[in-house]
Amino acid sequence: MVAAMIGLVLALGSPVAAAATVGGVERFSTKCGVGQLVAGPDGNVWFSCFRESPEFSGRGKALVGKITSAGEVTEYSLPAGVGAGYLTAGPDGNLWFTFDNGGGEYGPVAPSSASAIGRITPTGNVTLFRAGLRAKSRPGEIIPGPEGDLWFVDGGPAPMVGRITPQGTIIEFASGVKSPLGLGGLAAGAEGSLWFTQVYVLPHGDEPGAVAGRLDPDGTVTPFGDAPPALGAPVAGPGGDVWFADDSERRGTIDRVTPSGELTRFSQGLAGIPTDMVAGPDGNLWFTTQRSIGRVTPDGAITQFSDCLTYRLFFSEARTIVSGPGGDLWFTNTTSRQLPSMEEAPSIGRVTPSGEITLFKAEIGPEPQSIVAGPDGRVWFSGGSNGIERITPPQAPVNTFIVNPGKVSAAGVAEVPVEVPGPGEVKLRKAVLLLPHKRTVRLPGSGALHVSPTTCGPAPLRLKLRGKALARQRKEGSIRVRVTATFTPTGGSPNTRTETTFLRGPRRGG
């Protein structure tokens, strides 16, 4: 009788048929919050992580771990007081990391926890190197360089660029720029050179400036001209050129520097502020902006793609981008979910060389930050939670989807947005109203309720609340509904999933 009193006009489709998920995500648990991911020289994916102490927030133990293609996780403890900041695969078959002890989450500065360069073997043996680092050293990004060495930036007083051999010998080189504020990233250039960016202070309190710097194998540092004050990390491009994304708040440009130091800025066709950049497998450079994925050719022609980037909140945006398997590019999306009524599902995206974008949102954990193409041909990502996720690049139309919170009008008409990755058909199979004390009521209906989206994005299923379901929504402002739906992409196979969501609308009290 209760089901007859609490009504929602829905459709109950035909029995659900089992089908394979295309574009689904696998999740592997860890015992620590995962930071950076890198593809290891041993065929595994390696990661930095931090296990917080249950007694003291922000204190705990740092680890470096690896995960095999079969999903087997192994974690290795670092020495007390040491944490892995930046992590990279070394040319010697080991993993290398930097540790900058600024008195942060790994504890106070102490002789036993001074900044260091670390090496960890595939079997977990850790060696720290400090000899050669100056006092108050703050090593940051580290990359493999020419001739089998590794190079790193040192953001301590008077920032430097450092080199460490596989045996652990460290040499640092002054950047040669007066009044520095800090160094950007590193990139290996042509003929054994390294490139970096540096921000510096201008006199009289003017806005900071920046330069691009080249470090030759003999240690000679050559700065090249003034550049925008927010010059990003360098990226090695085709033909020996080095590229930078300028993420200045006032304007954005894509900058190219030749091996001889000739700087050219490109802005024609650029909309938005570029953030991350990567060299693509198609011979072009690719970058992210808040609302698009961009491509720039070696001669500076810019094209941006935004189809299917359906961000609902202002601070949601495309962020980190990497070159992935099959010639595609993959990227993470940062989101902002401060309020229950303002929700944005975490996601990662794929863009083809032609600019076709697919967003993956189903079953993705907390906001992805680090993303890497794994040695197994899959894409791995993580967002700081106790887990690592993996997606196999789909070879057929993606059939995963999510159910977003819906809105209810004053007349009781509800829209439940089913967000799909592309065109197809969405059918609502059933809905269950969730009541207090774990009670549930199946909401009956008749006929077939479906919608046929012609593109990616929300496909709204329009429903009608009746009886006590409508009364409860008007009294509480929202009700919880468990929805079972099937999405069949055009040319693909059906996928059925069940999700719980909210229907929110005007609250009348009573």
Give residue-wise pLDDT tens across range 429-481: 888 889 888 888 776 543 358 899 999 999 998 888 888 788 888 999 999 99
Over 90: is that where the pLDDT of 286 sits?
yes
Indicate the helix (H) or strand (E) that contains 4.
helix 2-5
Q: How confident is the model at residue 6 (pLDDT cuts 50, 70, 90)?
A: very low
Which of residues 241 and 83 earns the better pLDDT score? 241
Q: Which residues lie below 8 Å from residue 228, measured CB to CB, with a gap of 6+?
A: 210, 246, 248, 251, 253, 255, 265
The reported pLDDT for the residue numbered 483 is 92
Over 70: is that where the pLDDT of 235 sits?
yes
Q: Which of 112-121, 226-235, 324-333, 455-464 has the highest mean pLDDT?
A: 324-333
The reported pLDDT for the residue numbered 153 is 87
Lowest mean per-residue pLDDT among 14-18, 232-236, 354-358, 362-366: 14-18
The reported pLDDT for the residue numbered 22 is 96
The reported pLDDT for the residue numbered 56 is 57
Q: What is the mean pLDDT of residues 29-33?
A: 92
| Residues 44-55 pLDDT 10s | 999 999 887 766
Which of residues 250 and 392 earns the better pLDDT score? 392
Lowest mean per-residue pLDDT among 28-32, 73-77, 228-232: 228-232
Q: What is the pTM of this model?
A: 0.89
The reported pLDDT for the residue numbered 287 is 95
Q: How confident is the model at residue 355 (pLDDT cuts 50, 70, 90)?
A: very high
Mean pLDDT of the chain: 84
Class of domain 2-20+400-504: mainly beta
Q: What is the 3-state secondary structure (H, E, C) of 464-510?
A: EEEHHHHHHHHHHCEEEEEEEEEEEECCCCCEEEEEEEEEECCCCCC
| Residues 302-345 pLDDT 10s | 999 999 987 777 677 888 999 999 999 999 988 765 555 557 78
Cα 234 to chain center, whole Å?
Answer: 19
Of all residues in the chain, what percent carry a pLDDT higher than 90? 49
Going from N- to C-terminal start, the domains of the chain cover 2-20+400-504
CA atoms of 215 and 192, how far apart (whole Å): 9
**DSSP-derived secondary structure letter, 5:** H
**Tokens matching residue 210:** 């920046």
Q: How confident is the model at residue 225 (pLDDT cuts 50, 70, 90)?
A: low
